Amino acid sequence: MKRLTLLLVTCLMLSCNSDDDNSGPQNCTDVYIYGLKVTVKDLFNNAIITDGLTVIATDGSYTEELMRTENLNYFIGAGEREGAYVIEVTSNDYQTYFSDYVEVERTEDDCHVITEELEFFLESN
């Protein structure tokens, strides 16, 4: 009986030690985070522009057109995707704009990406 008790206590102690490492499953939320949030403004009057724009994010061979819903004044994309993006903004009424590289990184717990909020100013044609 003493041996059985000793064996059980030893097993419990060993199982407690495994809690100290961070190799267990990650408890991430179900929230879907976009890596890019882009606001586009007119260079001269600082007005937000949304109509007639196409906003494209490119990371190597990956390309995505950022989306905008009617009630938003910005474009979003790169959902849960890290990378180094170049943003291209095109319009018939404005000069095409190319950004420098924008780095989207993951959170420290590796559950989501950190949203890069960007503001670009376009010059009219």
pLDDT tens profile 15-41: 444 444 555 567 899 999 999 999 999
Which pair of structure tokens corresponds to residue 109?
Answer: 């717990």
Instruction: For residues 80 and 41, give the distance between their C-alpha atoms in angstroms, rounded to a whole number.
Output: 26
Give me the residue spans of the domains in the chain. Answer: 34-122
pTM of the model: 0.78
Name the CATH superfamily for 34-122: Carboxypeptidase-like, regulatory domain (2.60.40.1120)
How does pLDDT run across 47-79, given as a tens digit for each residue? Answer: 999 999 999 999 999 999 999 988 899 999 999
